[in-house]
Amino acid sequence: MICCIQRVSEASVKADGITAGKIGRGLLVLIGVEKGDGPACADWAAGKIANLRVFEDEKGKMSRSVLDIGGSVLIVSQFTLAGDASKGRRPDFGRAEAPAKAKAIYEKFINAVKEIIGEDKTAFGVFGAHMEVALINDGPVTILLEKRV
């Protein structure tokens, strides 16, 4: 599983021109499900992201999590994170999980995040859809999180 986590002032995602999810201060998480990822990966990533200390305290030190600040999380599926562009000019997506299995893990991840930070603090895109993501990256702070099975 690969997650690209961005600390944001705000973020939104549209599918077919309709806003599917929108948050204020918090984290935008782009998630790519790879072959072999299972429910345990989704639970691990959800816990890690909810507790990741990337928000500054009063001393300017990154010591607070999205939970600590009462922030939100916007989750967007992005199979292209599993792409390998090390050879040739076209990325190889052979590491990406098949859509039906990936969707199940994506939904498990969403539910795990909801359990940790709350349903009202969790927003998400539309799996498999062409989406438009808008964000204001705060910092910028961007973290890559990978869990290889």
| Matching residue, tokens 């359990």 | 115
Tell me, what amino acid is at 50? A
Q: Which tokens is 69 given?
A: 């600040």
Contact 127, 66 (CB under 8 A): no
Cα distances from 81 to residues 4, 17, 53, 103, 112, in angstroms, run 8, 23, 23, 15, 21
Active site residue 80: yes
Query: Which residue in the list 19, 80, 122, 142 is annotated as catalytic?
Result: 80
Q: Which residues are tagged catalytic? A: 80
